[in-house]
Amino acid sequence: MYRIYHADCFEWLRERAPHSLHAVCTDPPYGLLEFTGREISKLRAGRGGVWRLPPTIGGSQRDPLPRFTVLTNAQKQELRKFFREWGKTLRPALVPGAHVCVAGHPILQHLVQHAMAEAGYEVRAAIVRLYFSFRGGDRPKNAEREFPEVCVTPKGAYEPWMLFRKPIQERTVAENLRKWKTGGLRRLSVDKPLPDSIPSGRTPDREEAISNHPCLKPQHFMRILVRSLLPIGEGVVLDPFMGSGSTIAAAEGVGYDAVGVEVDEEYFKLAGLSIPRLAALYPDFAGEDLEMNGGYGSIEKENEQQLAMLLAEKPIAYLVKSSTKIKPRRA
């Protein structure tokens, strides 16, 4: 069962009952600059703004990504302040021992971890999503031929999902689990603990055909991650920056209760349409294994074909067209 709300998450969280949420899994608006109304409008129009990369590789158009390297020191401190205030606003609604999983970026990870520590959370390990990416690895802009063997940054091949925990209230994790159902992470199985790195293919075409959100995450990875956050399989998972709805769809696919909050009206409408369709994919996969077949394809095969697939695909139009009015709903 899930509910989604078109609201500002700060305002929404202030109205939540204490100890009503058991976990958080979210990919927040890191760039602040990138996710301002002005930059989102440019993204949806398909031109201008900071959402850009070198336009082609191998003759094919590349999809837009946020360029966090353009943030100034002042903007980075604003980002740190944002997460500190968000963490403080979130804390009362969480039960003791609840885990908060936040998608990150290598060059901004330290800012978020510091901010969440200041907000009163324990900084735990990060779960690394290993995947094929075109992020980074570019030669110096406008001097590519002059410095053909130079890259400005390493080519991205991982995405850190940082873990934080609201301190447990009981004397031990076991006692906290008995009272609050939280404090640890759910294993893949009795004999398989959750690893801190998970091989992940790119988001499959069938999922991108359902949602054209620029930050859509694959259900394979999201179901493993979301499943792990409720250690005994009970409670409510929150995504306060719902975006594409991939977290809520993953929770639905795993069989968890979930709540999503999204401030952008177009993305809220898109998520409302996409969540049930994404959740219906891969009915035999509930995140209890690192490999997922059933039409998705093995991780090895997916990785081998990624470059060819990316070069062959047409660019996605990031313009959401929907006249459907979606209210906060219960499914």
Q: Are 263 and 7 in contact (CB under 8 A)?
A: yes
Residue 33: predicted pLDDT = 53
Residue 220: predicted pLDDT = 96
Burial call 128-166: b when 16+ CB within 10 Å, e when fewer: bbbbbbbbbebbeeeeeeeeeeeeeeeebeebbbbbbbb
The DSSP output letter for 69 is G
Residue 47: predicted pLDDT = 55
DSSP 200-227: -PPPPHHHHTT---TTPPPHHHHHHHHH
This prediction has a pTM of 0.80
Give the residue from 83, 124, 89 showing the smallest Cα distance to 18: 89
Three-class DSSP category at 264: coil
Residue 97: predicted pLDDT = 98
Distance CA 127, CA 246 (A): 17
Instruction: Calculate ∠ Cα 146-150-151, nearest 5°.
Output: 125
Copy the structure tokens of residue 297: 């394809």
Distance CA 284, CA 173 (A): 31
Copy the structure tokens of residue 236: 């409510």
Q: Are 224 and 130 in contact (CB under 8 A)?
A: no
Q: Are 318 and 212 in contact (CB under 8 A)?
A: yes
Cβ neighbours around 19 below 10 Å, total: 14
pLDDT along the chain (331 residues), means of 10: 97 98 94 56 55 46 50 86 97 98 93 97 96 79 90 89 98 98 97 95 92 92 98 98 97 98 95 97 95 55 43 37 40 50
Residue 71: predicted pLDDT = 75
Three-class DSSP category at 16: coil
Residue 296: predicted pLDDT = 55
Q: Are 308 and 300 in contact (CB under 8 A)?
A: no
Residue 153: predicted pLDDT = 84
Q: Are 98 and 90 in contact (CB under 8 A)?
A: no
Three-class DSSP category at 242: coil
Q: Are 325 and 1 in contact (CB under 8 A)?
A: no
| Domains of the chain, earliest start first | 2-330 (3.40.50.150)
Cβ neighbours around 240 below 10 Å, total: 27
Residue 75: predicted pLDDT = 84
Give the residue from 218, 93, 116 showing the smallest Cα distance to 163: 116
